[in-house]
Amino acid sequence: MDETLATQLLASLLPADVVALIDTHILSPQSPVQAVKRTALAQARRSASLVLPLLQPLIDRALALLAEHQGALDMLVPLAVLLATLVVLNWVRRIILWWTRLAFRAVFWAAFAALAAWVVNRGVLVSARDAAVLGAKIVGYMAVLKDVWLDEYKRYEGQEASGRWDEYAARRSSSSRAFNAQAR
């Protein structure tokens, strides 16, 4: 029953040749996947039948203890969930930091290798001249940006000093008051 349902679901999602391949090599009872599955399930059943009699008294005592201290359990379960959440979030943070460090190191060493290849390819003196030209262009661009920023800052300060900003704000608030009065 489960195999036919799985085959029907696969047939609705995948092409017919892929479904036939999966049915033959994975879902068939004679397939190696099914043999491994049967062996693993049998081993798990044997292990459970050996371990369960040993653990049953411990499980019974733990359940009796939990039944006696239901109030403490009501408080400990949310704390355990919070602790588990914090542990998982810490793992996620550490993984993100590791990948970020790895990416930045890769970018740094790739840039270093590209710079070294550029110097070897062009020569030391030509590379130094190119670097000086590039540095001068960057400094010139930064000077232009500084001038634009200072001009905008002076214009803003001029608006503040002349009171035009206050007039603009007053006009804006009076028009919004008129709009609110009409809306009522």
Angle at 99 between CA 95 and CA 105, to 5 degrees: 145
Q: Can you tell me the distance from the alpha carbon of 161 to that of 157, in angstroms, rounded to the nearest whole number?
A: 6
pLDDT of residue 165: 60
Burial 93-117 (b: 16+ CB within 10 A, else e): eeeeeeeeeeeeeeeeeeeeeeeee
Please give the pLDDT value at position 175: 59
Helical H segments across the chain, by residue range = 2-13, 16-22, 32-68, 70-122, 124-162, 164-183
pLDDT score recorded for residue 125: 94
pLDDT, residue 140, reads 96
Task: Give the per-residue pLDDT at 166.
Answer: 61
pLDDT of residue 105: 98
Block means of pLDDT (10 residues each) for the chain, 184 residues, are 73 87 85 92 94 92 87 87 97 97 98 95 93 96 95 89 67 61 60
Tens of pLDDT, residues 68-85:
888 888 888 899 999 999
| pLDDT score of 21 | 87
Residue 1 is predicted with a pLDDT of: 45
